[in-house]
């Protein structure tokens, strides 16, 4: 999904929309279970065709939340009615931006930069109560993360940056909770086989289908822009 539209051109009374330049894209990468069935997609905001984003994380999160508003493009058109995994910064959590996404089909990926102090833990507790699934991104086992582990549905682990011992420690920390390991950067068949043997439940990476992106013009009837809230959001006073 391309981020911005080129302005319309009117010639002889007929209005057309020129093809936008390949600048910024919404992409998705599938997340599969042990049977290689797609359970959802991580939504990615990319700069150009090289499948990377080098900007500020809050900006990327805001753009994804903006584009995924159901009144704007329709979330189901991106995920085929599967789960949408969306990266969440501390700002997106504590300001309530993530509540723009439907709880029934959204997994909030809590970035590793979010420290588990009182404020984000309180917000995540309320989001969990509201029905949002939570994933802990690039997880490293630490005792102080236990309050978030207890709320999580998924614990995302970088397969390339971890080893079997670290992944075993993560499973030990998750014992007694509902959190399941989701390994990303699964790049070979051997990676997939080894992670499966270790007890990992979900998988993401280039051994599996790659991120899909491509230009698509947003229909004119959906061009009303979303105004994101800027005031602090309190988990004690959730929106109606």
Distance CA 77, CA 168 (A): 37
- Which residues of the chain, if any, have pLDDT below 70? 1-26, 45-77, 208-240
Instruction: Confirm if 182 and 204 have CB atoms less than 8 A apart.
Output: yes
- Predicted pLDDT at 213: 46
Phi and psi at residue 210, to the nearest 5°: -75, 170
Record the pTM.
0.71
- Predicted pLDDT at 230: 38
> How many CA atoms, within 13 angstroms, populate the side-chain half-sphere of residue 3?
18
- Predicted pLDDT at 239: 44
Q: What is the pLDDT of residues 4-27, one digit of tens each?
A: 445 555 556 666 555 444 445 667
- Predicted pLDDT at 33: 95
- Predicted pLDDT at 11: 57
- Predicted pLDDT at 16: 57
Q: Where do the domains of the chain lie, and which CATH numbers do they carry?
A: 22-220 (3.20.20.450)
Q: What is the pLDDT of residues 19-50, one digit of tens each?
A: 444 445 667 889 999 999 999 999 876 554 44
């Amino acid at each position: 999904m391309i981020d911005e539209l080129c302005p319309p051109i009117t010639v002889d009374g007929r209005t057309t929309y020129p093809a936008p330049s390949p600048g910024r894209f919404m992409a998705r990468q599938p997340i599969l279970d042990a049977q290689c069935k797609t359970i959802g997609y991580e939504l990615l905001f990319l700069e150009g065709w090289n499948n990377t984003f080098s900007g500020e994380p809050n900006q990327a999160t805001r753009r994804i939340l903006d584009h995924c508003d159901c009144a704007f493009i329709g979330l189901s058109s991106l995920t085929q009615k599967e789960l949408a995994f969306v990266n969440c910064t501390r700002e997106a959590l504590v300001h309530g931006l993530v509540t723009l996404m439907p709880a029934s089909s959204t997994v909030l990926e809590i970035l590793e930069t979010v420290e588990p102090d009182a404020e984000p833990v309180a917000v995540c507790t309320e989001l969990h109560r509201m029905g949002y699934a939570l994933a802990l991104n690039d997880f490293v086992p630490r005792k102080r993360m236990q309050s978030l582990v207890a709320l999580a549905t998924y614990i995302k682990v970088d397969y390339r940056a971890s080893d079997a011992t670290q992944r075993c420690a993560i499973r030990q920390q998750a014992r007694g909770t509902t959190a399941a390991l989701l390994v990303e950067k699964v790049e070979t068949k051997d990676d997939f086989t080894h992670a499966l043997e270790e007890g990992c439940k979900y998988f993401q990476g280039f051994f599996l289908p790659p991120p899909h992106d491509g230009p698509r013009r947003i229909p004119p009837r959906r061009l009303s822009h979303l105004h994101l809230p800027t005031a602090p959001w309190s988990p004690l006073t959730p929106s109606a």
